[in-house]
Chains A and B, each alone.
Chain A
Amino acid sequence: MVDKQGDNASEVNINEEVGEGNTYEPSEQYLTFFIEDEEYGIDILAVKEIRGWEPATEIPNSPEYLKGVINLRGTIIPLTDLRLRFGIKQFEYSPTTVVIVVKVIAGEGEKIMGIVVDAVSDVSDFSKADIHPAPELAANKNAAFVKGLGSSENKMVILLDINELLNAPDDADLTVVSRATF
């Protein structure tokens, strides 16, 4: 986490240079995407690339949401279907279905993983003031991986902590992260 904040800081500096003297409120950029009409966001600095969906090689005896592993230019990476991970019903993969390849901090090192989402939406800036803490959830079980709710203009984005999310144990119950909950 500390590393990531360091990255953030340098990113802000770059922005300032590019912006030629424009003063920025410290803000964070999020890549947003859709799952079942709900917009979610993850820290853009964790995103390595976005790929189209392609069939993966199944891993025996793995949870249903783990779609398998794919070859990312010679590296084997696992794909997690966020829909299934959140306990939302299976969706036919469509041309908009994408794999977001992310870098996750796991223990001392980093892992490269893919998440399967319905569609990529946008890159949004949220200043600290725009991010509201997530409401206390029933069993508070999602608090660890929901960083907060980002609001801008007239939309609301559920900001996910991708590290917590993808490091969660296989059997952790991550259901009901949707509008219904909030």
Chain B
Amino acid sequence: MSIDLSQFHQVFFEESYEGLDVMESALLNLQPDKVDSDTINEIFRAAHSIKGGSGTFGFTDVADFTHVVETLLDEIRGEVRDITSDTVELFLKSVDCIRKMIQQHDVGDPYDATDANAIKAQFETILSNDLPTQAGESLAITPVTASHEIQNDSPAPHGWKIYFKPHQDILRTGNDPLRMFRELESLGPLIVAVDVSALPHISLIDPEACYLAWSLELKADVPKAVIDEAFEWVADESELSITPVVVEDDQVSAPEQLTPYRPAVKGSDLSKVEVTSIRVGIDKVDDLINMVGELVITQSMLGELGLDFTMKSLPKLLEGIEQLSQNTRELQESVMRIRMLPISFTFSRFPRLVHDLGRAMGKKIELKLSGEQTELDKTVMEKIGDPLVHLVRNSLDHGIETPQERLTLGKPETGTITLNAFHQGGKIVIQIIDDGAGLNKAKILEKAKQNGMVSDTDVLSDDQIHDLIFKPGFSTADQVSDISGRGVGMDVVRRNIIELNGSVEVESTEGEGSVFTIRLPLTLATLEGQLIRVGRQTYILPLISIVESIQSFQGMLHRVVGGCDLLRLRDEYVPIIQLSSLFNIPSDSKDMEDGLLVVVEGDNMKVAIFIDDLEAQQQVVIKSLEENYKKVEGVSGATILGDGTVSLILDIAGLIKLAGVQRHEYKAVHKGDDYAA
């Protein structure tokens, strides 16, 4: 019976990724000077199961690669060999390499083995150097007869003779010799002779036991390791000898007959369908099941009530409906919770990042993580990863000083970067805190003046100066380093965060460090909205983008010939967008003075939106328009209001684009003003 193993591939991939994460974090925690045997065992176990799995599923490249990693780990575990910081680096590299290989298998792309071979060679060099005396022992994981060890990697030119006598229990453990022979057959011509001498009398036969032994001859030019692999799972429980065929005369297996070794390509027909899945804690699913159970009870209660309804049972009905609405609310909450994952999923990549970057820059850095259990919507988490990486790199590059500088300044040699996450008022707050140099206000201001963002006469508060780093085209890096300044600025970070309906702020004290604070909604599925009315249409503005609303703005309006109207708001000029003319819908307000202006911020600029009226503020569930229709310019989605009607959610950046308000055009009129908040 053959089983289609490909159905388990996804599980194997996911488990391998987890195993690699375990290896990585354990390696990062490893102190080369005091090796902790638990940690080594942990790394070894993870590597071993990746190797075993990849062998089973036919990912021979992964298995081969992991094999050398495992061998070295085993020697370290057996205290045959010491671990050095260089070995740790090599292990980290190998983790990356295995991850890459598995990813390639995952998506079904061909893998470029150059890197893997280079790293593998490094391992082999270490392994062959001052070969430890207990080598035979440490190789117990691939039991082979010691005398043939040398041939492990060199193929025998004329094939191999194999004697295989499995333990009687082999079939009970789910192993099938036939499968192994088939695998050998895929390597080249195979001659199989069975030895039935051990068969007992038929009345004594245990049908589940194996009494047979085999002599095989494989006429293929393959390394011994490949044959070992076929017997990998049964080697412990059988008598196995693998010897090269010795050519005594010419007629025995002429070289031409040999089939060149080609690794069996299994799983190449991997479906390329991208499956995004969430691993959900069983407790959440249990909650959900309980909740649905209650819902069913309430429903049957209401159903029964309906069968024989009199006005007397009205209170009972109302009670039932109340219960139903509570069940529904709880159900909604638990369904939302399924999408929530602890932020440790994102944080977990930082120890490695900080480790590598710190090494590259010669800085000593300690990374502290806190609040890793804080939960966040999966979609938000995926999108916040890159901005966070940028901010952490920034802290490393611009924030933390070199060890020498720190010592001169009287600070501890090792700098600290803290990643902190917590919930606050229905939002998640993520902070990146460093004890580095802090933002250099004088330098920022000077740069801003050079770029014409600030005029010489402007007096700015500290916060306003700090805020300048988020403006487009702003960089204080004296030179472009490998780490930052690659064209992605803080403005992109802020834009990405704003796209998630979040915000980012910086606080900094020169010489003491900086704190970047990101606030994000818990989920992208809902939004705090401000309902606005134009004519008979109700639209929703994301509350977070609203700066203020102005009811009476007489004398604050300026009409620019050939341009749009401007609102003079204290010391800045804000372009006005008329929703009714932009969307081509009737409006109540005949005159500018009848309506209201809502000042909003989006795409790094402020605009004032002219509307008829402000209505309630409420949390809305975001629905997609694209799902059944298509993208609508100026609209980011839709929602359903309490009365069941659909209301569109406005997209500020889209409105600005639609209205054709261009930043440069506006800047030409009032140069620099838009940046001086």
B is bound to A = yes
* Interface size, B (range): 20 to 34
Say whether B646 contacts A62, CB under 8 Å.
no
A61 to B579, alpha carbons, bound, how many Å? 12
Instruction: Please name all residues of chain B whose beta carbon is closer than 8 Å to the beta carbon of A35 when the two chains form the complex.
Output: none
B585 touching A60, Cβ below 8 Å? yes
Q: Given the known A-B contacts A76-B623, A76-B625, are A58 and B632 also in contact in the complex, defined by CB atoms under 8 Å?
A: no
Residues of the B chain whose Cβ atoms lie less than 8 Å from the Cβ of A113: 628-629
A-contacting 9-mer, from B106-114, B232-240, B637-645: B637-645
Q: Report whether B647 and A59 are in contact in the complex, using a CB–CB cutoff of 8 Å.
A: no
Give the complex CA separation of A113 and B626 in angstroms: 12
CB neighbours (8 Å) of A10 from chain B are: none
A45-69 contact mask (Cβ, 8 Å, vs B): 1 or 0: 0000000000011111110000011
- Name which residue of chain B comes closest to A60, CB basis: B583
Minimum C-beta distance from B34 to chain A (A): 56
Q: Is A71 an interface residue (CB 8 A)?
A: yes
Check A71 against B640 for contact (C-beta < 8 Å): yes
Alpha-carbon distance between A69 and B628 when the two chains are bound, in angstroms: 10
The distance in angstroms between the C-alpha atoms of A62 and B632, with both chains bound, is 9
What 1/0 flags go to A77-90 for Cβ under 8 Å of B?
Answer: 11000000000000
Report B-chain residues with C-beta under 8 Å of the C-beta of A134: none
Determine whether the beta carbon of B628 is less than 8 Å from that of A58. no
A60 in contact with B634 (CB, 8 Å): yes
Q: Is the CB of B646 within 8 A of A57?
A: yes
| CB within 8 Å for A112 and B628 given contacts A59-B648, A60-B635, A61-B583 | yes
B648 CB contacts on chain A under 8 angstroms: 57, 59-60
Given known A-B contacts A60-B634, A71-B640, A77 and B628 have beta carbons under 8 A apart: yes
- Picked from B537, B623, B633, B647, the residue with its CB within 8 Å of the CB of A75 is B623
Closest Cβ–Cβ distance, residue A160 to chain B (whole Å)? 19
B497-523 interface code vs A (CB 8 A; 1 in, 0 out) = 000000000000000000000000000
Chain A nearest CB from B57 CB (Å) reads: 29
B583 touches A76 (CB 8 A): no
B348 contacts the other chain (CB 8 A):
no
B433 to chain A, nearest CB (A): 42
Say how far A106's CB is from chain B's closest CB, in angstroms: 9
With both beta carbons as reference points, the residue of chain A lying nearest to B633 in the complex is identified as A61
Q: A111–B627 contact, CB under 8 A?
A: yes
Are B627 and A71 in contact, CB atoms less than 8 angstroms apart? no
A76 near B646 with CB under 8 A, answer yes
Which residues from B are CB-within-8-Å of A77? 628-629
Say yes or no for B584: interface residue by CB 8 A criterion: yes
Q: Does A44 contact B (CB under 8 A)?
A: no
A177, CB-defined interface residue at 8 Å: no
Distance in angstroms between the alpha carbons of A31 and B633 in the assembled complex: 35
**In angstroms, how far is the closest chain B Cβ from the Cβ of A58?**
7
| Cα of A92 to Cα of B309 in the assembled complex, Å | 41
Chain B CB within 8 A of A143 CB: no
Question: In whole angstroms, what is the CA distance A113 to B585 when docked?
Answer: 23
B409 within 8 A of A: no
Q: Report if A71-B645 is in contact (Cβ < 8 Å); known contacts: A57-B537, A60-B632.
A: yes
* Cα distance, A131 to B640, chains bound together (Å): 43
The answer to whether the Cβ of B619 comes within 8 Å of any Cβ in the partner chain is no
Of chain B, the residue at the smallest CB distance from A114 is: B628
Q: Does A19 contact B (CB under 8 A)?
A: no
A75 and B584 alpha carbons, distance in the complex (Å) = 25
* From A60, A61, A74, A78, contact of B629 by CB (8 A): A78
Chain A neighbourhood of B634, CB < 8 A:
60
Please encode chain B, from 572 to 597, with 1 for each CB lying within 8 Å of some chain A CB and 0 for all others.
00000000001111000000000000
Q: Is there a chain A Cβ closer than 8 Å to B552's Cβ?
A: no
Residues of A within 8 A of B645 (CB): 57, 71
B168, CB-defined interface residue at 8 Å:
no
Q: Say whether B623 contacts A74, CB under 8 Å.
A: yes
Across the interface, name the chain A residue whose C-beta is closest to B621.
A74
A74 touches B635 (CB 8 A): no
Q: How far is the CA of A74 from the CA of B628 in the complex (A)?
A: 12
Question: B624 interface residue, CB < 8 Å from A?
Answer: yes
Q: Report if A156 contacts B (CB, 8 A).
A: no
Task: Specify the chain A residue showing the minimal Cβ separation from B629.
Answer: A78
List of B residues within 8 angstroms of A112 by Cβ = 628
Fill in one digit per residue for B549-576: 1 if any A CB lies within 8 Å of its CB, else 0: 0000000000000000000000000000
Residues of chain B within 8 A (CB-CB) of A59 are: 625, 629, 632, 635, 648
Contacting pair A76 B624 (CB below 8 A): yes
Q: Is A174 an interface residue (CB 8 A)?
A: no
Question: Contacts of B644 on A, CB cut-off 8 Å?
Answer: 71
Q: Let me know if B646 and A71 touch, CB within 8 A.
A: yes
Beta-carbon contact of A69 and B638 below 8 Å: yes
For chain A residues 65-124, which have a beta carbon within 8 Å of chain B?
A: 68-71, 74-78, 111-113
Q: Which of A61, A62, A68, A113 has the most CB of B within 10 A?
A: A61
With a CB–CB cut-off of 8 A, which chain B residues contact A60? Answer: 582-585, 632, 634-635, 648
CB distance from B386 to the nearest CB of A (A): 28
What residues of chain B lie closer than 8 Å to A62, measured between beta carbons? 632
Q: List 27 A-B contacts (CB under 8 A).
A: A57-B537, A57-B638, A57-B647, A58-B585, A59-B629, A60-B584, A60-B632, A60-B634, A60-B635, A61-B583, A61-B584, A61-B632, A62-B632, A69-B625, A71-B644, A74-B623, A75-B623, A76-B625, A76-B627, A76-B628, A76-B638, A76-B646, A77-B628, A77-B629, A78-B628, A111-B629, A113-B629
> Would you list the 8 A-B pairs with minimal beta carbon distance, nearest first?
A60-B583, A57-B646, A78-B629, A111-B628, A71-B640, A76-B638, A77-B628, A76-B623
Beyond contacts A57-B645, A59-B635, A75-B628: 13 other A-B pairs, Cβ-Cβ < 8 A, are A58-B537, A58-B585, A59-B632, A61-B633, A69-B646, A71-B640, A71-B644, A74-B623, A76-B623, A78-B629, A111-B629, A113-B628, A113-B629
Residues of A within 8 A of B (CB): 56-62, 68-71, 74-78, 111-113
